[in-house]
Amino acid sequence: MSSSETRTRGASDLSVSRWQRLKHWTVQHRLESADAVKRLLHNRLSTLVTMLLLAVVLAVPTFMYSLLGNLKQLTPGTDFEPQLALYLSTELKAEELDRFSRSLLLRDDLLSVELISSDVGANEFKSHSELGELMTLLDENPLPAVVLAITRDQDPATMKLLRESMAALPEVDVAELDVEWLERLEVIVGSFSSISFVLALLLSMTVLLVIANTIRTMISSRQEEIEVSLLIGATGAWVRRPFLYAGLLYGFFGALLSLLLVYFSLALVEAPLAELTELYIGRFDLQGPDLSLIMALLMGGTILGWIGAFIAVSRQMGQLHQGSD
Amino acid sequence: MAAIQFTNVSKRYDSGQEALKSVDFTLESGEMAFLTGHSGAGKSTLLKLLTRVEQPSRGEVWVGDQNLSELSRSEIPHYRRTLGVVYQNHRLLEDRTVYQNIALPLRIAGFNEEDIGRRVRAALDRVGLLESEQKFPQALSSGEQQRIGIARAIVHKPRVLIADEPTGNLDPRLSLDIMNLFEQFNRIGTTVLIATHDVALIKRMRHRVLILDKGRLRHVQ
């Protein structure tokens, strides 16, 4: 065989067509992801420890966000409806009171209207209050008639506006809204939300560092393989790929494990939390993380894993100078 | 046609060390040659220029119709796939079987598994170690390990085969076996360049010899 013939044959062996390359690219990715799983399973203990560490770190913000979801669910409570109390002018006569309360009934923004006349109010006061006896000392009933209304819109801001417009009515002396505790809850939810966000941010960085460090160790234990691969024609991308897969897998399975931890933690706090809520708002079922939170956790974990691995690989590869030894 | 051509090549490292001085030579396609010289004479540098690990400070290195200085960063891996390189310490991956080691260049080049199996076995057959496929390198003798190293270098049928002290750790009889193996590949048309300091062996082989002396090249037939 002449040398030129061999050359041609050698060349055709190497020039794999574009279509074949694409096909092999997908096959290769499949093989390499399988290979990455195999390698992680090979060092079972250290892989498990790393994943558990990631799970704990990821569980903290996820747990916080689950609680936050539960708190938010309280805000527009079904058991509790904030009331608007209108203390009417004492100068109004019975039929005027009646007419006024009827006019309120026609309003769209009020769900229900209850008129409590000053007599009824006085009787209630007598039976419910220690100071009831005082009433007998008075000649006149000093209590105003009250209208208790439940608003259609339970949003605190809208309710406040409504309260103001009611207070401006000539029949109304004072309008009060018992949303104080609602506002307090909102502040609590708000600060809880920002604490959760900051925690999530800090712990995401922890995840990034843990994965970057794990991958860094992985790379140094496979230094020889990387150098040889580069010398026999591997591209930087080819060398990087298994490590990026490893980071991805660490992130995903860390997130999956953290989900278990979150359900476990929620189960732990369920009983004391139920006791607490019983005192204020009655029965309340603790909800697990909702679908969007679960998706965010799994995707976030996976992406963080990939980025962590990418950082580690880029740094290490930079030091390798395309395989010089 | 020239397989390897050095035109007035000099290499000076950042440290100031002048490893090669105006080196000129041509290796024809299908030729086999030895590169020799004392340690520090510039053998390693010359091989590093060929594998495009280093670049010349002056002059041009051509392999086939490719000027290596004109390779872009992304073209380097593809260029390296046209070479086969054998190392003194064979550089096999200890945690992989013989099969996996030899398959590595094919995986890198994107061959499918079926092709890989066929080619790996053909390469193993050529170096006479077909039965060692599933062994790990450490289970083999040093002579066998080097033959696996050669199988990995030729599995993708490179145009040019380069060896860096391939018999460095072997006794004379095994060394001769290895050299005979290189001759076999040369006989089917592969261009072969072997760096070695084993002068006795070179004399027995009757091929062209390139002698490097303090970075300068002296040709000897």
In tens, the pLDDT along B35-59 reads 998 888 888 899 999 999 999 999 9
Task: Categorize the per-residue pLDDT at A13 as very low, low, confident or very high, splitting at 50, 70 and 90.
Answer: very low
Task: Categorize the per-residue pLDDT at A79 as very low, low, confident or very high, splitting at 50, 70 and 90.
Answer: low
- B157 class by beta-carbon count within 10 Å (0-12 exposed, 13-18 middle, 19+ buried): buried
Decide if pLDDT at A320 tops 50.
Answer: yes
| Residue A14 at interface with chain B, using a CB cutoff of 8 Å | yes
Structure tokens at A269: 């706090």
Instruction: Residue B148: list chain A partners with CB under 8 A.
Output: none
pLDDT given for residue A132 in this prediction: 65
pLDDT given for residue A7 in this prediction: 39
| Residue B139 at interface with chain A, using a CB cutoff of 8 Å | no
pLDDT given for residue A10 in this prediction: 40
Q: What percent of chain B is predicted at pLDDT more than 70?
A: 99
In tens, the pLDDT along A259-284 reads: 999 999 999 988 888 877 776 666 67
Euclidean distance between CA atoms A294 and B30, whole angstroms: 63
- Residue A213 to chain B, least CA–CA distance (Å): 22
Q: What is the CATH number of domain A83-178?
A: 3.30.70.3040
> Is B188 close to A6, i.e. CB distance below 8 A?
yes
pLDDT given for residue A117 in this prediction: 80
A–B interface: beta-carbon pairs under 8 A: 88
> Is B77 close to A230, i.e. CB distance below 8 A?
yes
Average pLDDT over residues B137-158: 93
Which of A3, A16, A317 best probes binding to B when mutated, by most B CB atoms within 10 angstroms? A3
- Cross-chain CB nearest to B93 (options A16, A27, A225): A225
Nearest to A258, CA basis, from A298, A287, A292, A290: A298
Structure tokens at B191: 């261009």
Decide: B132 and B98 in contact? Cβ < 8 Å: yes
Average pLDDT over residues A61-69: 90
Q: What is the pTM of this model?
A: 0.70
Q: Which chain A residue lies closest to B85 (C-alpha atoms)?
A: A232
Lowest mean pLDDT among A12-21, A49-58, A193-202: A12-21
Start-end of CATH 3.30.70.3040 domains in chain A: 83-178
**Burial call B95-124: b when 16+ CB within 10 Å, e when fewer:** eebbbbbbbbbbbbbbbeeeebeebbeebb
> Is A235 close to B77, i.e. CB distance below 8 A?
yes
pLDDT given for residue A147 in this prediction: 86
Q: Give the residue extent of every domain in chain B.
A: 1-82+162-221, 93-157
Euclidean distance between CA atoms B14 and B10, whole angstroms: 13
Residue A143 CB: number of other CB atoms within 10 A? 20
Decide if pLDDT at A25 tops 80.
Answer: no
Structure tokens at A136: 């007998």
| Residue B71 at interface with chain A, using a CB cutoff of 8 Å | no
Decide if pLDDT at B64 tops 70.
Answer: yes
CATH fold group of domain B1-82+162-221: Rossmann fold (3.40.50)
At a CB cut-off of 8 Å and minimum separation 6, what does A320 contact?
A226, A227, A230
Average pLDDT over residues B193-207: 88
Cα–Cα distances (Å) from A220 to A199, A216, A223, A320, in that order, read 32, 6, 5, 11
Q: What percent of chain B is predicted at pLDDT more than 90?
A: 68
pLDDT given for residue A112 in this prediction: 82
Euclidean distance between CA atoms B53 and B78, whole angstroms: 13
More confident residue, A234 or A117: A234
- Cross-chain CB nearest to B108 (options A10, A233, A325): A233
pLDDT given for residue A3 in this prediction: 41
- Residue A294 to chain B, least CA–CA distance (Å): 37
- Residue B91 to chain A, least CA–CA distance (Å): 7
Decide: A212 and A308 in contact? Cβ < 8 Å: yes
Structure tokens at A298: 């799994």
Residue A324 CB: number of other CB atoms within 10 A? 12
* Radius of gyration (C-alpha) of chain B in whole angstroms: 17
Structure tokens at A189: 């939810």
Helix axes of B113-126 and B142-154: crossing angle, nearest 10 degrees: 130
Q: Is the dihedral of CA A232, A237, A240, A244 positive or negative?
A: negative
